[in-house]
Structure 1
Amino acid sequence: MAALALATIYPLLFTGNVAMKTRHDYVLDRFSPAPSPNLDNVAAAWTNAGMGRYVVNSLAVVTCAVVVLLLIGSMAGFALSHLRFRASRVLFLGCLAALFVPFQVIMVPLARIMADARLLDTYTGLILAYVAQFLPFTIFLMTSYYTTIPREIVDAARIDGNTPYGVYRRVMLPMGRPALLSVGILNALFCWNDVLIALLMMPSAEHRTLMVGVTSLRGQYADNIPVFASGVLIAALPLLVLYVFFQRQIADGVTAGSTKG
């Protein structure tokens, strides 16, 4: 475990060390500690390379996508776990089947549909693409979690006069907060780290998300590795902070619904 932790932490430390070096210091020695650490490369990546704009783009897209995913996923999870209607089992199996479809299989039809709908190179189109891609995963986890809630609670709420929507709003949403937090964090990580969908949906430079912007830095600053390392560091730090504060919720999201009781 110590070796695995070292293999995980060292690349981050190496990237941070390179980002603190000047280009001259990096050429002289790549692996030694920075002789005079400074944040000039980080400032250059933030302003000159447009990383600040990319961060804002990613935050807006990821926030909207996660909110829509949690809203639709929690509603569908409640319906599939506690409401009995025709073809409910088929719909749930369809969501499971969608988990096994790689994005590369549907990327060309998706791009054509988005182009025909004039949603290509728009934030709305990217948000809808994220929702379509990660909704089956969200529905699966929310359905698995809501299945662990006893039906007697739902029946008691219905006897008290609640409609299905009332049961969802007054009972399921409060009881599902742990799963919603876990699934929300996982979806935020998926959307934040995505490159392929964002690169397909956002061809213009001003609409790029952060990870697409980082990949573009590799060619733009091929002769200035410290600036490129600064861009990588900017992209990695929000995820690192998120993991430090919510590591238990991330682990719970992976195992949500795997046990009963």
Structure 2
Amino acid sequence: MGTRGLSRWVIAIPMALLAIATIYPLLFTLNVSQKTRREYVLDRFGLSNTFGLDNFVDAWQTSGLGTYALNSTIVTLGSVALLLVFGSMAGFAFSQLHFRGSKAAFLLILGALLVPFQVVMVPFFRVLGQIGLLDTYPGLVLAYTAQFLPFTVFLMTSYYSRIPGEIIEAARIDGASTFGIYLRLMLPLGRPALVSVGILNALFCWNDVLISLLTMQSADHRTLMVGVTALRGQYSDNIPLFAGGVVMAALPVLVVYLFFQKQITDGVTAGSTKG
């Protein structure tokens, strides 16, 4: 075996182990979701002898997962919309418009990426309570927008920096205003980055537990991930039903990863190379 073949094995073996460690919990949860309560108690790790949707139906109907999924959809769509609007505007401004304090403002936004939510959790909770946005959709949408906006601005600025400034100058010579350049030129050119960043932010919002748990305090306003987490306590004696809820909550995320792998990769690497 040559040096090249050996180096491939050195990379392939750890990657294969990582893939197994990632896929096995998914398959185990799916297998448990197919079992009855009795079957799970008798043999937790064995393959299920039956196949059906009973646990999925029971989890959906008896635990309110339908309401939780609707709540997650509302706040995710609202948050992604605001993030794309403000993130694309800020990215255009920082990358193509030169104004006093732009570098300092961009560095301040980059600094916000280093601040974990746990640091601002207490003042965040107090501010939302003072302005009456606790346990409301707008409150959670604004919370997600504030939390993920620095990441969005960074990626959009990196992407827009690759667009030659001559295009902007030509548009100005043709009489386009700044907002016209943004609307008619930058948005179409930034569509690949907007799609990638939109998918990433949708995954962030959909998978979040901490911010949603802190903001949405009533059971009717829980998001899907918080609702599934609560299932563990409500149905501690019925693990197959809990597993069915987990599978349903994870399914949208898995579908997005399977069908939008390229867009997700492009979003993570946006601006890393010069075009």
Give the TM-score range, shorter chain.
over 0.9
- In the alignment, residue 252 of structure 2 is paired with which amino acid? P
Q: Which runs of 5+ in 2 are unaligned?
A: 1-14
One of 71, 94, 101 as aligned partner of 2:85: 71
- In the alignment, residue 227 of structure 1 is paired with which amino acid? L
The residue that corresponds to 1:228 in the other structure is 242
Alignment partners' CA distance in 2, 1:127 and 1:187: 12
Correspondence 1:203-218 to 2 at 5 A: 203-218=217-232
What secondary structure does 2:260 align onto?
A: helix
Paired residues in the alignment total 261
Calculate the aligned-residue CA RMSD, in Å.
0.7
- In the alignment, residue 17 of structure 2 is paired with which amino acid? A
2:228 matches 1:186: no
- In the alignment, residue 86 of structure 1 is paired with which amino acid? R
Alignment partners' CA distance in 2, 1:36 and 1:120: 44
Alignment partners' CA distance in 1, 2:110 and 2:147: 13
Alignment partners' CA distance in 2, 1:213 and 1:48: 12
Alignment partners' CA distance in 1, 2:66 and 2:146: 27
- In the alignment, residue 104 of structure 2 is paired with which amino acid? V
Alignment partners' CA distance in 2, 1:76 and 1:3: 41
One of 47, 52, 63 as aligned partner of 1:33: 47
The residue that corresponds to 2:38 in the other structure is 24
1:23 is displaced (CA, Å) by: 0.3
Q: Percent identity?
A: 67
1:10 is displaced (CA, Å) by: 1.2
- TM-score, length basis structure 1: 0.99
- In the alignment, residue 140 of structure 1 is paired with which amino acid? F
One of 87, 102, 119 as aligned partner of 2:133: 119
Larger Rg, first or second structure (1 or 2): 2
What secondary structure does 1:84 align onto?
A: coil
The residue that corresponds to 1:80 in the other structure is 94
1:7 is displaced (CA, Å) by: 1.3
- TM-score, length basis structure 2: 0.94
Alignment partners' CA distance in 2, 1:55 and 1:22: 25
The residue that corresponds to 1:140 in the other structure is 154
One of 195, 199, 202 as aligned partner of 2:213: 199
One of 51, 66, 71 as aligned partner of 1:57: 71
1:6 is displaced (CA, Å) by: 1.5
The residue that corresponds to 2:169 in the other structure is 155
2:265 matches 1:251: yes
1:8 is displaced (CA, Å) by: 1.0
Q: Any runs of at least 4 consecutive aligned residues in structure 1 with deviations exceeding 6 A, and if so which? A: none
Q: Which runs of 5+ in 1 are unaligned?
A: none
- In the alignment, residue 251 of structure 2 is paired with which amino acid? L
- In the alignment, residue 57 of structure 2 is paired with which amino acid? A
Alignment partners' CA distance in 2, 1:76 and 1:41: 46
What secondary structure does 1:30 align onto?
A: coil
1:32 is displaced (CA, Å) by: 1.5
Correspondence 1:91-106 to 2 at 5 A: 91-106=105-120
